[in-house]
Amino acid sequence: MEPQLSHIIHAVNVQVNVADRGQANHFYTEVSAYLQDILLPQMKCLCDEQGADYHRLERVDVVLDIDKLDDWQAVLTRSVITAMLDAIARDPSAYSQLGTILGAHATPELKDSNWEIFCHFLETGYLPWFAHSGQDYFSETFLLDQLANASHSWKAMTWEALQSHAGAVERLSKQFSWEFNISLLEWLSGMNFLPKVNQWLLAVDRPGSTISKRQIQQQFIEIFIQKYIQVSTEIIGTASILHHAMMKTEQSLQENREANDRVLSNDAILEQYVHDPVQDSGLIIGNAGLILLQPFIQYYFKETELLEGEQFTNATSQVYAVHLLHYLATGNEYAPEQELLFEKYLCGMHIRQPIERFVKLKERDKEEAVTLLNAAIAHWEVLKNTSAEGLRETFLQRPGKLILQNHHQLIVEANTVDILLEQIPWSYSLVKFPWTAQLLYVDWSSANR
């Protein structure tokens, strides 16, 4: 997979000051349309003229004071172009190379930004702002091919992600295959231990055990990385690290399984991620339209036996619920974590809490999902001729922005079909489930419910 090279601007912030308050709404609409249709193409041309194939600007800020109502387009155009040129002039290198925005991760040796994106995902569970939506950055074959010619800076970047960010090691073990994890660890450590580890795995993976082979693998990966980081400054043989990881895995499997099967309290989760605040500007999410199913979700989780009272039975049930919600919206299984952000939120998980990717859904639970969708269609009479797949594609798989600062807010991308929301017989403007901590305010612009 070759990276897509294009100019990316994270945010264009235009503050328009007008003397007449009555003109404010008019100019909001007019400026937005002009920016989208006229200025963005001009901004691309401006980037092309600066002599680099790829520019990555985090933000362009413009304050526009409009005195004359008939010349605001020309004033805005000059202001935006001036702001862009000023930004590039202040630090040209920051906008003319790939991989130069992520602070300590920025290195001129990087030939593309894919490894930055991989490390950012390990740290956070979601993609950075400059990643292209819909592109598969985490093909294991592609990532391993990149390692063949990787520079030393890539190792430093990876160790930094694993060592400094809560959940990164756990995310690596849960989101990628055993084979990928071992190949990555061999590259990071300079060791060749796959045959020995697989032989050990056969010995400890006993038939009839309540602990799955994948749990054993994940435990080994996490212990190996923790031990390697711990002794990286000591003089110790790598064979000793491997032996320690094997022995410690066997000792702690049952203990950790019991601990990991408990649903973490909100306080415990916040304590883990207190130094990793979610982006202030909000997260772009998929499947924001799941919020329309809020009257049915608790019943669905009860039918699939995931709740004890009004709370999830355990952590396994909570993770299973996340994947069920994704199946409700898409009909797909085994989704990577960056596609599950809103589903995690709706199930009361912290956005950065790592989650197992390879969860197999029961056939009866998938059938119940289709039954739920058909029930929603039946109650929403204007959709009576719509299929379950039609509901998914038209409303549930809608992009949105999830803002978790102060009051939690969901902003859903509008569409012309949203006029049908006026006939939905239930409210979705304010949502809270028994297992979530805060109210969620929903802004679905075309329907004022």
Per-residue pLDDT reduced to its tens digit, 276-298: 556 567 899 999 999 999 999 99
Confidence of residue 361 (pLDDT cuts 50, 70, 90): very high
Do the domain assignments include residue 356? Answer: yes
Q: Do 32 and 170 fall into the same domain?
A: no
Do the domain assignments include residue 202? Answer: yes
| Cβ proximity of 66 and 18 under 8 Å | yes
Q: Indicate if the alpha-carbon torsion angle 261, 264, 268, 274 is positive or negative.
A: positive
Q: Do 36 and 126 fall into the same domain?
A: no
Q: Do 437 and 361 fall into the same domain?
A: yes
| Cβ proximity of 64 and 103 under 8 Å | no
**How many domains does the chain divide into?**
3
What kind and span of H or E run contains 257?
Answer: helix 238-260
Do the domain assignments include residue 238? Answer: yes
Q: Do 308 and 399 fall into the same domain?
A: yes
Q: Which residue has 């549930």 as its token pair?
A: 396
- How far, in Å, CA of 382 to CA of 386, rounded? 9
Q: Which residue has the higher pLDDT, 301 or 224?
A: 301
Do the domain assignments include residue 208? Answer: yes
| Cβ proximity of 125 and 338 under 8 Å | yes
Write the Ramachandran bin of 422: left for phi over 0, alpha for psi from -120 to 50, otherwise beta: alpha
Do the domain assignments include residue 102? Answer: no
Q: Do 117 and 75 fall into the same domain?
A: no
pLDDT in tens, 407-425: 899 999 999 999 999 999 9
Q: Which residues pair with 10 in a beta bridge?
A: none
Q: Which residue has 């709706």 as its token pair?
A: 346
Q: Do 53 and 156 fall into the same domain?
A: no
Please say if the pLDDT value at position 87 is more than 80: no
Q: Do 215 and 243 fall into the same domain?
A: yes
What kind and span of H or E run contains 95?
Answer: helix 93-96
Q: Do 124 and 240 fall into the same domain?
A: yes
Q: Give which of 188, 104, 191 is closest to 144, Cα–Cα.
A: 188
Q: Assign 361 to helix, strand or coil.
A: coil
Q: Do 223 and 121 fall into the same domain?
A: yes
Confidence of residue 111 (pLDDT cuts 50, 70, 90): very low
User: What domain range includes position 148?
Assistant: 113-260
Lowest mean pLDDT among 18-22, 113-117, 326-330, 395-399: 18-22
Residue 169 sits at the vertex; the CA angle it makes with 166 and 175, to the nearest 5 degrees, is 115
Do the domain assignments include residue 165? Answer: yes
For 331, the token pair is 């009909």
- How far, in Å, CA of 77 to CA of 283, rounded? 28
- Report the chain's C-alpha Rg in angstroms: 25
Q: Do 304 and 370 fall into the same domain?
A: yes
Distance of alpha carbon 148 from the chain centroid: 27
260, 289, 313 - which closes a domain: 260
Question: What per-residue confidence (pLDDT) applies to 236?
Answer: 47
Q: Which residues pair with 442 in a beta bridge?
A: 410
Do the domain assignments include residue 53? Answer: yes
Do the domain assignments include residue 265? Answer: no
Q: Which residue has the higher pLDDT, 325 or 4?
A: 325
Mean pLDDT, range 191-209, rounded to an integer: 80
Q: Do 286 and 433 fall into the same domain?
A: yes
Please say if the pLDDT value at position 164 is more than 90: no
Question: What per-residue confidence (pLDDT) applies to 254?
Answer: 59
202, 225, 260 - which closes a domain: 260
Q: Do 181 and 72 fall into the same domain?
A: no
Question: What per-residue confidence (pLDDT) applies to 447?
Answer: 42
Lowest mean pLDDT among 151-155, 179-183, 220-224: 151-155
Burial 335-358 (b: 16+ CB within 10 A, else e): bbbbbbbbbbbbbbbbbbbbbbbe
